[in-house]
Every structure is written in C-alpha cells, then in structure tokens.
C-alpha cells in the first residue's frame, strides 16, 4: 500500500493525489523559480508579501490589496485586506479617508469616529484628534483649531455666584 506524503511548506495538492509532483503553491503563496550555479533550477513557493493576497492554489501571482489597505503576509483572500488607520470601509468596499473632524486610530475600521469635545482634526485621513489646549474647548467633530473657544475655568461661575449671594446676605444682615 502506498503511503501519503505531505507537500512541502507553502504547497498543497488536490485530494487523492498520489505524487509529490502534484504539489502546487497553496493559497497565500506564489511560485518563485531559482536558478542554481550549474544552470539548473528549482521551484519553490513563497508567501505573498504584506499588502498582497492569493486565493487560488497554483503558481499564479499574488494580487495587491485595494488602495489604502494592507494585509498580513501569506493572506488568502481580499477580505484579509484591512483599511489603514485614517481610513474606513463601511461595507467591505474601497477604503475612504476620514473627513476633517473625524478619525480612525487603527486598522480595519468600518467607520470614522468623531473628535470628542475639546479636540479637533483639520486633515483628511486623521489617525487622532488634536487637543484644543488649556482653557479652550470645542464641540464634537470640530474641524479646525479656530473652533476651539476660550472656556471659563471649571467652578469659576459657581465661585462668582457664591460671592454674589454672600454679598447679598451681608447687605441684608445690615438692614
């Protein structure tokens, strides 16, 4: 009875194959033919680089991920391509840049998040929002540092109101 042998790393064969010659590059791998010193050559399968994928078994080339996306080494399908930080893809389509006032901090975001109050983003494809600075604040999704307005120091209004009431009570005490 014949025994089964495994294909070398990065290779695969169809079910019920009876020879190592049936081994081909697995999904996520592409053929690389190297020539030896004596002019002879040998083929080997190498993983697709980052930003590329290959879904079929065989010697074919790896396919580039869509613009503004990346995949891990040896990826086996387009679904492995994730949008870069600063970009989003709501329905698994092309990666679109985040608009000013929004950001995407990490790979694979489906939506851009709004900048929180007290911060802003003035650029397309932002990966973070910038703080307004001391004594300044903004509404959510601010698109410019010009939208950061001066704010009262927390509690200053309360202190002013307490002082006014203390003054009113003191005046009434003399009446």
Q: Which helix (H) or strand (E) holds 159?
A: helix 156-174
pTM of the model: 0.73
Q: Which long-range contacts (CB under 8 A, 24 or more apart) does 159-165 make?
A: none
pLDDT (tens digit, 0 to 9) for every residue of the chain, 175 residues total? Answer: 456 778 878 888 777 777 777 888 999 999 887 554 554 445 788 999 999 999 999 889 999 999 999 999 999 999 999 999 999 998 778 999 999 999 999 999 999 999 999 999 999 999 999 999 999 999 999 999 999 999 865 545 444 454 444 544 454 455 5
**11-30 burial code (b ≥16 CB/10 A, e <16):** bbbeeeeeeeeebbbbbbbb
């Amino acid at each position: 009875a014949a025994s089964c042998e495994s294909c070398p790393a990065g290779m695969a064969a169809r079910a019920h194959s009876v020879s190592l010659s049936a081994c081909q590059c697995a999904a996520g791998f592409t053929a690389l033919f190297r020539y030896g010193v004596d002019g002879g050559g040998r083929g080997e399968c190498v993983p697709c680089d980052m930003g590329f994928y290959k879904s079929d078994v065989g010697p074919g080339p790896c396919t580039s991920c869509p613009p503004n996306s990346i995949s891990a080494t040896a990826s086996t399908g387009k679904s492995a391509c994730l949008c870069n930080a600063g970009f989003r893809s709501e329905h698994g389509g092309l990666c679109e840049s985040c608009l000013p006032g929004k950001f995407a901090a990490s790979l694979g975001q489906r939506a851009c998040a709004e900048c929180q109050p007290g911060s802003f983003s003035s650029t397309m494809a932002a990966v973070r929002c910038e703080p307004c600075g001391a004594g300044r604040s903004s509404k959510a999704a601010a698109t410019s540092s010009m939208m950061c307005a001066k704010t009262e120091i927390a509690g200053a209004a309360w202190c002013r109101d307490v002082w006014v009431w203390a003054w009113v009570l003191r005046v009434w005490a003399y009446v």
